[in-house]
Amino acid sequence: MSDATPTENLRPGWKPGQSGNPKGRPRGSRNRVTLVALAAMEEGADAIARKVVDLAKEGDISAARLVIERLVPVAKERPIFLSLPDTGSAEGVAQAQAAILQAVAAGDI
C-alpha cells in the first residue's frame, strides 16, 4: 500500500484547502446581466424620477410615498438620557419604574 492519506488519493494534485482557481472572480465585480439592467435603468432614470414626482404632485399616494422614502431618511433610534434612582433595592426599582412611566407619559420616550 502507499503512504498517501485517503484525501490525497481522492484528490490527486490538490491539497486540502487549496482553491482550483486562486485568483477567482474579483471582489465587487458584477454580473453582465446586472450591468445591462443598471445601464438600461440609468438611461431613463431622469424621466422616471420626473414622472413619479409629477404623479405625487397630482395626488398619487403610492408615488408620494416613494418620493418621501427616497428623500427623507428613515428615522433611526436616538439615545435617551434619563436619570434614574439607584436600583439596588426594591424601593429604588419602584422609583425607577415610576420615572420611566412619567417619561413615557410626557412623550420623552
pLDDT, tens digit, 9 for 90 and up, residues 30-41: 888 988 888 888
Integer-rounded Cα Rg, in Å, for the chain is: 31
Asked if the model's pLDDT at residue 12 lies above 70, the reply is no
pLDDT, tens digit, 9 for 90 and up, residues 58-81: 999 998 888 888 887 777 777 888
User: What cell numbers appear for 87 in the block?
Assistant: 436600583
Asked if the model's pLDDT at residue 19 lies above 80, the reply is no
Closest CA to 18 of 28, 3, 8, 26: 8
From 7-16, 23-32, 76-85, 99-108, the region with the lowest mean pLDDT: 7-16
pTM for this one?
A: 0.35
What separation, in Å, do the N-terminal and C-terminal C-alpha atoms of the chain show? 75
